[in-house]
A and B are shown apart, each in its own frame.
Chain A
Amino acid sequence: MGYALRRLGFYLLAAFASITLNFLVPRLMPGDPASAMFARFQGQMQPEAMTALRASFGLDAGSTFQQYLAYLKHVFTGDLGRSIAYYPTPVTDVIGTGLAWTLVLTGVAVILSFALGTFLGTLAAWRRGGLLDSMFPPVLAFIGAFPYFWLAMFALYLFGFVLGWFPLRHAYSYDMTPGPTFGFFLDAVHHAVLPAATIVVATVGGWMLGMRNNMIGILGSDYITMARAKGLSQKRVMWRYAARNALLPSITSFGMALGFVLSGSLLSEIIFSYPGMGYLLVQAVRGQDYPLMQGLFLIITLSVLFANWLVDITIAWLDPRTRANE
């Protein structure tokens, strides 16, 4: 428990750092882009929108430190300003629905991919030099070298346009009303298959190779030899002795890679016009909607930090040594 709290402390520090970074970036950039932005919007926006925008940047509130305090107060009360593209909807409301779609889609896809990759990696290391071990890593490395969104375009073209197996856009059909019905669930799953599959295909190779290499290290250790000498069954040695230990560094790198994978999946959401965070991100960039962009940065970062904390807790749960020290 002490361990979990200490890690939480670190992530709170990281969260604070990213909140501060979010405040500093527009102010540190050369040529005062915030002012430049207002100059550009002059005349295009309604005066009240301009005022709201200024307020959300805290530009009216005196010295930089006072601005910072005002900004912190806004953040902690859940006020991230108003979106320009969706004016006058508050940024938090715009992000709200997108966050849910992204979390479900990416969360499920990433965990599936990790489980599959780990499983394949275990088998590949166990049967060194077998088909799985010699063929899969290079092929998956090649597929993994494509940008996620490119794979998404390719999948959409092939399975959406040419073959027509999957819907072309959005998270559910337009004639559906979102709600807890079985029909809606099926429809949402049907829409999610292609985006999720893209993420799985693009990332599974990395997990597999990582697990394979960890396993190979573990398989040379004395306790594996002893487990075999004890007359334990192959399955038991492979899973309970080898994979169980090789999993620990794999989960650590899973936590590390989470932010990276999420970034990639945001881009493929755009291809499928999936109404998640990635789609909002591109809207924000194209509409130069700075408040939305910064809100997205903050929310994505906080989600990743939270996910990393969960990963740390999982490791503590799986590794008795972590619980004891550090």
Chain B
Amino acid sequence: MNSRLRAFGRNRKATFGGLILLGFAFMMIFGPLLVQDPTAFLGVPHSPPSWEHWLGTTGQGQDVLAQVVVGSRVTLLVGFAVGILVVFVGALVGVTAGYFGGWMDDILSILTNVFLVIPGLPLAVILAAYLPVGPVSLTAVLVVSGWAWNARVFRSQTLSLRGRDYVAAAVVAGERRFWIITREILPNMASLLVSAFIGTTIYAIGAQVGLEFLGLGDVGKVTWGTNLYWAANDATLLTGSWWILLPTGLCIALVGFALTMLNFAIDEVTNPRLRTERAAKANPAEPPADNAPRDKAPLPEGDPRPVLSVRHLVVEFPSDAGVITAVDDVSFEIQAGEVFGLAGESGSGKSTIGQAILQILQPPGRVARGEIHFEGADILVMNAVELRRFRWRDGSMVFQSAMNALNPVLTVGEQVADTLEAHGVVTAEEIRRRTDELLDLVDIDRKNASAYPHQLSGGMRQRVVMAIALALRPRLVIMDEPTTALDVVVQKEILQRVMKLEKELGFSILFISHDLPLMLAFADRVGILYKGKLVDVAAPGALGLAERHPYTKKLMHAFPSLTGPRSLAAPRREDGGVQAKSNVLLSIRGLHKSYKTGSGLRKRSRQVLRDVSFDVHEGEIVALVGESGCGKSTIARQVMRLETPDSGQMSFRGEDVFTNEPRRASLTYRGQVQFVFQDPFGSLNPVHTVAHHLARPLLIHGRVTRDRVRERSLELLEKVGLTPAAEYIDRFPHTLSGGQRQRVAIARALAVEPRIILADEPTSMLDVSIRLEILSLFRRLSNDLGIAVLFITHDLASARNLADRILVLYAGTVVEEGIAEEVIRKPKHPYARLLLSSVIDSRAALEAAIEAHPGSAHNADTRAACPFSSRCLQKHDVCETARPEAHLISIGHHVRCHLYDDVPGAHTDEAIS
């Protein structure tokens, strides 16, 4: 926040606008003392500027200078008053509607939208015509006709802020609504409040002058508007007395201009991309010019000639703080038909290398040194025409996020077609034939050529992107995290498709990913990037050897595995069981939840949770595993009381929660059940320090007295491994790394001394090398403090390593539940087996067939008796008609599937699952 203020102070536009406004403030306050009486008839009408009247006289012989100076008072005062009032009314309506939602929002936003489309001036005219003239009624009129715009802006801003995790975190901490709005939401609207005030003031001055010009003001008062009214009435133009018009108009324009400049400055500070100065030379469309003259380097020796050869590549990003070297002296080669993997964490420069090869670096990034040869041709010396020919025909790219890589307003077919057209395929017949061929290649129905990207599922979009990448049969395809955004089952399907195409078409692949186990299975050779440097290159089998680079070793051990010893498991107990000894802490029975989508008559309901039941015992770590959309986060939101389920019971330590505290969770409950969010960048409020985040829960729950808050906060930081704590407590979230923020979030959850912590994918946004540290922190909390953890994840390997028990969720139903190792080793439900067989941790796993019909939890048939029946290869008739019961097949291992209906020894268990 402070850095923004400083940036604002440095901004040229802000300085300029501020100085002009200061001048007008001076004129408004002291000016009237220095000039003549503006209403007195002092001179000859219509006399031009002279010594007595510096700016001439009006049509009635009044002094123009005096009128302009005195007129500024009422005009600017009314302008600023309207600005303040409108922002106040708009913010009040907008924040109320946005925060409380429901029917209040429905009514307020309809009212707002109606007022928004009613044109302001005609409304102001009829209002002003009926009201007594004068500045007060003018202010009232302008507020009534101008509040709606602000209400709308504030509503949408509130809606977006209300959805932030730090607001949910405040709710979970037990904060009251009033404090959430004033402490967590409003401070984040500061720049919006200011820019809304400025925008409204501009409108108010313009509209006020307009109304007065029409004769709807008090024409006896001296204001800028009445000055112009009299100017128009006194035949100024006929007599050519331009001096009557000019000064007032110029003043209005200068004030408006100064305010506009301030608003530009706010926009630029909040969104630095909008600045004009910076990227003055870098045209995003042109390849950087500074590396054009370059000697053709001799080709590397050896046969076969590599498809791609990168030598001593250095990529730099100049910035305010100096030059950042993103890629530092990187050299590698890719042979024909080879899959070369580049692995590294965020910021290692792996994507930058891919972009440099196609010369699509985002400005101000540039290749500072080095060579990139494609089949012997130096890409860096190509001119624009050669480069266009090289792009896609020789080397193409599959982008990480398929949704963002496709143009939302063009159909799939159009986007394939313009790729072909750009490279010389012109006849409609040929384009249609090739498009069909490409869609067949990636197994997408031809009729989807006329579909828009948003109509396809994530996996389909990624296959479309792949089809476009292969459109011109390139010899090199760069794949930048092609499956990271996808669920495991879809990921495997896509990678198998890539392997098949690669064998058929024989292209080389540069495979960029952070997922080392996946890469070891997929790539022929792997390069490890660390802070822009290529520290290691080897075949997958050789990377695990002892003599590798220390970072390689660290990375190799950073991934939890589905086999081998469980590094984070609970200390063994004598009887081998985990739950038997401790009491049930949290018990959920028959939870149902559906979400309403659409509005008005088109309301639809989508069932997210179906009859979910499970227990969590004291001190136990339970993992809730499933693909995106399976409902695992929804369960967390019900338990956290951020939402209310449609039906079902939940008891905490034997107390029935929904019956005892139906509307809102009690402080007692909040003090025992805490939450750690997925995104540590979103769950801490950017305007508050670490100290605030820890102090609030401590104070709300009265865990310590006010004078001991800081001491206790320091202790908490120590406990989560942020030492020395004094160094962290007064810092703002943006100065911390992702892992540090997640530790603060965990410390905040610990502050109230809870009995259970729900952790929703707590490591998925973090770099791989710190994931294990956070996971082991949870294990330590469980061991040392006896806190139970409900660990929500899509990553089976993490679940296996950390959890005591695992619940597998599919389409809102718990399909399997059991002791972690048993579920992973001997999965019983067809879906659990599918999920486990989709984890790619070896070449064999990558090549093994997928054991289900295509699809994901997203397109599961939630209406069917068994939601998995539409994809199950072992489906029977009964799966469509009767909902499967949960069968107990060994100690604590339940499976909800008809396959176990008749298995001897298995019996229906009413109590659990």
Contacts and interface: CB of A to CB of B under 8 A. Distances in A.
Nearest to A146: B253
A300 B122 contact: yes
Contacts of A10: 113
Contacts, number: 260
B129 interface: yes
Contacts of B279: 128-129
A39 interface: no
B621 to A, nearest CB: 38
Contacts of A258: 119
A267 interface: yes
A186 B899 CA distance: 85
Contacts of B249: 146-147, 150, 153-154
**Residue from A126, A138, A213, A325 having most chain B Cβ neighbours under 10 A:** A138
Contacts of B423: 231
Nearest to B208: A147
Given A126-B285, A236-B418, A281 B125 contact: yes
B283 A267 contact: no
Interface string B852-865: 00000000000000
B215 interface: yes
B396 interface: yes
B407 A281 contact: no
A308 B119 CA distance: 11
B210 A262 contact: no
Contact of B276 (A128, A150, A296): A128
A7 B681 CA distance: 38
Interface string A89-112: 000000000000000000000000
Nearest to B259: A145
A288 B216 CA distance: 10
B596 to A, nearest CB: 14
Contacts of B182: none
Interface stretch (A43-51, A68-76, A218-226): A218-226
A271 B207 CA distance: 16
Contacts of A153: 231-232, 236-237, 245, 249
Contact of A149 (B125, B210, B468): B210
B405 interface: yes
Nearest to A301: B118
A17 B396 contact: no
Nearest to A157: B237
A181 B132 CA distance: 48
A25 B124 CA distance: 11
Interface in A214-247: 216-217, 219-223, 225-234, 236-238, 240-241, 244-245
**Residue from B125, B362, B392 having most chain A Cβ neighbours under 10 A:** B125
A153 B235 CA distance: 11
Contacts of B126: 22, 25, 293-294, 297
Contacts of B179: none
A217 B270 CA distance: 13
Interface residues of B, number: 96
Contact of B130 (A14, A25, A263): A25
Nearest to B216: A285
Interface in B259-285: 260-261, 264, 267, 273-274, 276-285
Nearest to B249: A150
A11 interface: yes
B498 interface: no
Contacts of A31: 132
Contacts of B273: 216-217, 220
A154 to B, nearest CB: 7
Given A128-B284, A229-B396, A263-B119, A147 B206 contact: yes
A254 to B, nearest CB: 13
A266 B468 CA distance: 52
Contacts of A30: 131-132
B119 A300 contact: yes
Contact of B252 (A11, A141, A150, A161): A150
Contact of A150 (B114, B228, B260, B392): B228
Interface in A254-279: 256, 258-260, 262-264, 266-267, 270-271
B502 to A, nearest CB: 20
A126 B122 CA distance: 39
A239 B405 CA distance: 17
B401 interface: yes
Interface string B225-254: 000100110001110101001000100111
A256 B160 CA distance: 21
B114 A13 contact: yes
B120 A304 contact: no
B213 A149 contact: yes
A231 B276 contact: no
B59 to A, nearest CB: 14
Contacts of B255: 145
B601 to A, nearest CB: 9
A176 interface: no
Interface in A1-27: 6, 10-11, 13-14, 17-18, 21-22, 25-26
Given A128-B284, A223-B405, A231-B423, A259 B119 contact: yes
Contacts of B389: 231
Nearest to A31: B132
A35 to B, nearest CB: 12
A234 B237 CA distance: 50
B207 to A, nearest CB: 8
Interface string B555-573: 0000000000000000000
Interface of B: 110, 113-114, 116-123, 125-127, 129-132, 149, 202-203, 206-207, 209-210, 213-216, 228, 231-232, 236-238, 240, 242, 245, 249, 252-257, 260-261, 264, 267, 273-274, 276-285, 355, 358, 360, 362, 387-393, 396-397, 399-401, 404-410, 418-419, 422-423, 452, 454-455, 465, 468, 598-600
5 contacts: A21-B118, A234-B285, A262-B119, A304-B118, A321-B454
Q: Which 7 A-B pairs have the closest CB atoms?
A: A263-B121, A259-B119, A145-B256, A129-B280, A231-B391, A222-B404, A29-B130
Given A147-B213, A153-B236, A285-B215, 10 more contacts: A11-B117, A17-B114, A222-B404, A233-B422, A240-B410, A260-B119, A271-B232, A288-B129, A320-B454, A324-B454
